[in-house]
């Protein structure tokens, strides 16, 4: 019995010894992550990029056609409009989200009654499933039953119901408003977390140094918030640029493609339209923009000079 046990233990011990080797251990530990990344990230990404170079249609495997898809996209006014829409949508929505989010974070950072409760309420738009809130917006923007129009007309501000989703620019503003409403909690809560890490004595020191509230905001709050601001900004830009759900549920890209974003157009062409190759090419065309945004923020994210040096306080 003892002999048998000893014999069994010998190979196991050598396996354990193998684990003591840092290199073996690190490769072993990385394997699952690498496997997951390859299966769920690299493969679909590669497949998508590959499809963009083919004329695949739904139900018919395509052949490699080089950059023909991209060449035709350059002459495709709907595609160009969707690029324009995406840029407008991302830039305007991001500016509004950050402006309002920062304002909200500053408000929430003050001591006030029912603080925890109010903070929880702020998170609500973020908790509600996007499709549900998109439906709610769709209903609010309805030409006949819009609650916004109803309120405005009761207040005597308008005499005809607003056609929120019928005119190109009104429709753009409407979907941007919905995106901002949904995006503010994320920005506000992240910035609030950032604000709470700023030591109150810095504000006190600045006040004694003679800074008025605006100067304290400029010289203490903003620079101290910069690191977290750039992280949140990156994520916010990425999420907004690739937005799909809100648009698809509210306007499906209409009217006259005025709210088509690159993501919705790619889907539209690929799945309902059946042009897999072309859809994939549109989606792939988003990559340079996203890479640019990420590189930009990579430099923004780098530890600032003043954050370097010893880590203790």
Nearest approach, Cβ of residue 237 and other proteins (Å): 24
Q: Which stretch binds other proteins (CB under 8 A): 53-61, 115-123, 139-147, 299-307?
A: 299-307
Asked whether position 305 contacts other proteins by CB under 8 A, the answer is yes
- CA 40 from chain centre, in angstroms, equals 19
Residue 169 sits in the site that holds other proteins (CB under 8 A): no
Does position 306 interact with other proteins (CB under 8 A)? The reply is yes
Among 6, 129, 288, 309, binds other proteins (CB under 8 A): 309
Measured distance CA(274)–CA(276) in Å, rounded: 6
Interaction of residue 302 with other proteins, rule CB under 8 A: no
**Contact between 115 and other proteins per CB under 8 A:** no
Minimum CB–partner distance for residue 204 and other proteins (Å): 5
Q: Closest separation between CB of residue 280 and other proteins, Å?
A: 45
Q: Which is nearer to other proteins, 49 or 198 (CB)?
A: 198
| 44/223 with CB nearer other proteins | 223
Residues 121-160 as x/- pattern, contact with other proteins by CB under 8 A = ----------------------------------------
Of 238, 260, 243, 233, give the one whose Cα is nearest residue 95. 233
What would the 3-class secondary structure string for the chain be? Answer: CHHHHHHHHHHHHHHHHHHHCHHHHHHHHHHHHHHHHHHHHHHHHHHHHHHHCECCECCECCCECCCHHHHHHHCCHHHHHHHHHHHHHHHHHHHHHHHHHHHHHHHHHCCCCCHHHHHHHHHHHHHCCHHHHHHHHHHHCCCCCCHHHHHHHHCCCCCCCCCCCCCHHHHHHHHHHHHHHHHHHHHHHHHHHHHHCCCHHHHHHHHHCCCCHHHHHHHHHHHHHHHHHHHHHHHHHHHHHCCCHHHHHHCCCCCCCCCCCHHHHHHHHHCCCCCHHHHHHHHHHHHHHHHHHHHHHHHHHCCCHHHCCCCCC
Q: Of the candidates 289, 270, 212, which has an alpha carbon nearest to the alpha carbon of residue 56? A: 270
CB of 231 to other proteins, least distance (A): 17
CB closer to other proteins out of 166 and 223: 223
**Total chain residues near other proteins (CB under 8 A):** 26
Q: How far is the CB of 220 from other proteins (least distance, A)?
A: 7
User: Closest CB to other proteins among 92 and 202?
Assistant: 202
Closest CB to other proteins among 100 and 202?
202
Residue 310 near other proteins by CB under 8 A: yes
The distance of closest approach from Cβ of residue 205 to other proteins in the complex, given in angstroms and rounded to an integer, is: 4
Which string of x and - marks every residue 200-239 that binds other proteins (by CB under 8 A)? -xx-xxxxxxxxx--x---xx--xx-x-------------
111 belongs to the binding site for other proteins (CB under 8 A): no
CB contact at 8 A, 279 and 269: yes
Structure-block tokens of residue 288: 């340079």
Interface positions with other proteins (CB under 8 A): 199, 201-202, 204-212, 215, 219-220, 223-224, 226, 304-310, 313
């Amino acid at each position: 019995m003892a002999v048998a046990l000893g014999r069994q233990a010998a190979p196991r011990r050598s396996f354990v010894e193998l684990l003591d080797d840092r290199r073996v251990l690190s490769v072993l530990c990385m394997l699952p992550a690498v496997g997951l990344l390859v299966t769920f990230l690299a493969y679909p990404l590669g497949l998508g990029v590959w499809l963009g170079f083919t004329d695949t249609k739904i139900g018919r495997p395509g052949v490699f056609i080089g950059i023909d898809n991209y060449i035709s996209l350059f002459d495709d006014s709907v595609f160009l409009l969707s690029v324009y829409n995406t840029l407008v949508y991302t830039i305007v929505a991001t500016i509004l989200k950050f402006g309002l989010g920062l304002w909200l974070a500053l408000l929430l950072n003050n001591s006030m009654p029912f603080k925890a409760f109010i903070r929880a309420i702020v998170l609500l738009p973020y908790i509600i499933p996007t499709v549900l809130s998109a439906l709610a917006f769709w209903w609010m923007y309805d030409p006949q039953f819009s609650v916004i129009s109803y309120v405005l007309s009761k207040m005597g501000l308008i005499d005809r119901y607003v056609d929120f989703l019928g005119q190109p620019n009104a429709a753009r503003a409407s979907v941007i408003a919905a995106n901002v409403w949904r995006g503010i909690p994320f920005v506000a809560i992240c910035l609030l977390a950032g604000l709470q890490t700023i030591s109150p004595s810095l504000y006190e020191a600045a006040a004694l140094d003679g800074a008025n509230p605006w100067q304290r905001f400029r010289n203490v709050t903003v620079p101290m918030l910069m690191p977290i601001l750039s992280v949140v900004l990156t994520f916010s830009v990425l999420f907004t640029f690739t937005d799909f759900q809100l648009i698809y549920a509210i306007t499906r890209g209409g009217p006259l493609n005025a709210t088509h974003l690159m993501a919705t157009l790619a889907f539209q062409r690929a799945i309902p339209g059946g042009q897999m190759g072309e859809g994939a090419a549109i989606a792939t065309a988003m990559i340079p923009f996203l890479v640019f945004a990420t590189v930009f923020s990579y430099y923004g994210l780098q530890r600032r000079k003043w954050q370097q040096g010893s880590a203790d306080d």
